[in-house]
């Protein structure tokens, strides 16, 4: 939180939600890894139901990181140089 200057209540709440979502996504990933991405049912092979949920959660994590103004990697310009994202770390 201090590294990115997240000190407001709203930012801390979003960060808490991100952490909780990540915990859930990791539990789902463990279940998928244990059972396999394709499971056998009486009607034939099916995509593990947790795959869609894990994907949905990871999308939510990304959106919330963007709401906080955090980028996982610098955006690269066509020349390969990082360009500014416009975020200065101030709120």
- What are the pLDDT tens digits along the chain (91 aa)? 666 678 889 999 999 999 999 999 999 999 999 999 999 999 999 999 999 999 999 999 999 998 888 865 555 555 655 544 444 444 4
Answer for the pair 80, 74: CB distance below 8 angstroms, yes or no: no
Strand (E) or helix (H) holding 21: helix 9-35
What does the pLDDT read at residue 68? 87
What does the pLDDT read at residue 70? 82
Q: Is the pTM of this model over 0.75?
A: no
What does the pLDDT read at residue 1? 62
CA–CA separation, 33 and 48 (whole Å): 10
What does the pLDDT read at residue 87? 46
Q: For residue 29, with 0-12 CB atoms within 10 Å meaning exposed, 13-18 middle and 19 or more buried, which class applies? A: middle
List, in sequence order, every residue forming a beta bridge with 83; answer none if it has no partner.
none
Answer for the pair 38, 46: CB distance below 8 angstroms, yes or no: yes
């Amino acid at each position: 939180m201090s590294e990115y200057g997240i000190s407001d209540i709203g930012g801390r709440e979003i960060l808490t939600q991100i952490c909780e979502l990540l915990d859930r996504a990791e539990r789902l990933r463990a279940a998928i890894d244990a059972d396999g991405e394709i499971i056998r049912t009486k009607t034939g092979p099916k995509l593990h139901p947790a795959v869609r949920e894990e994907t949905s959660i990871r999308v939510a994590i990304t959106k919330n990181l963007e709401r906080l103004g955090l980028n996982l990697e610098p955006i690269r310009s066509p020349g390969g140089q990082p360009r500014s994202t416009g975020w200065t770390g101030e709120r």
